Amino acid sequence: MADKNKKPSDGPEPEREDQQAGEGAEANASGPDLAHEELVDVGPVEDEERDALDELLSDDDLDVLSGQLTAEELAAERLADLQRVTAEYANYRKRTEANREAERERAVSDTVKGLLSALDDLDRAEKHGDLEEGSAFSSIAAKLRTAVERLGLKAFGAPGDPFDPQVHEAIFQQPTPGVETDTVADVVETGYLLGSTLVRAAKVVVSVPDNG
In the prediction, which pLDDT does 59 show?
Answer: 56
Prediction pTM value: 0.53
In the prediction, which pLDDT does 6 show?
Answer: 47
Mean pLDDT, rounded, for 168-185: 92
Is residue 174 scored above 70 in pLDDT? yes
Pick the CATH number of 152-212 from 3.40.50.2300, 3.10.450.630, 2.30.22.10, 3.30.1180.10: 2.30.22.10
Instruction: Work out the pLDDT band at 173, boundaries 50, 70, 90.
Output: very high
In the prediction, which pLDDT does 29 show?
Answer: 45
**What is the gyration radius of the CA atoms in the chain, in angstroms?**
55
122 against 28, higher pLDDT: 122
Q: Domain limits of the chain?
A: 45-113, 116-151, 152-212
Question: 207: Cβ–Cβ under 8 A, 6 or more apart, which residues?
Answer: 174, 175, 176, 179, 182, 183, 184, 185
Give alpha helix (H) positions in the chain.
13-40, 43-56, 59-113, 116-127, 136-150
